[in-house]
Amino acid sequence: MKSLLSILALTFVAASMAVAEPVNKNCPVTGKPVLPNCKTTYEGKEVAFCSGKCAKAFKADPKKYADKIK
């Protein structure tokens, strides 16, 4: 029983880590509000964008936009 509870606790922790909130509310490329399903990971942080086009631009040159992540 104790090991079953441990497994359930680890599963919960892993699931909550997989649904990380983005660190920004505005797109680092355009400044517009972000979409919750349009995001990528940059330096261990979830970064969200207003569109797939912005995500693509960020991935091509993340350092250009990194200072706009808040």
pLDDT in tens, 19-56: 678 999 999 999 999 998 999 999 999 999 999 999 99
The CATH class of 21-70 is: mainly beta
- C-alpha distances (whole Å) from 9 to each of 2, 21, 60 are 11, 20, 38
Structure tokens at 49: 């964008």
- Write down the pLDDT at residue 16: 47
User: 0.75 exceeded by the pTM?
Assistant: no
Residues 6 or more apart in contact with residue 69 via CB below 8 angstroms: 23, 24, 28, 42, 45, 47
- Write down the pLDDT at residue 10: 59
Rounded distance, CA 70 to CA 51, Å?
A: 18
Give yes or no for residue 1 having a pLDDT over 50: yes
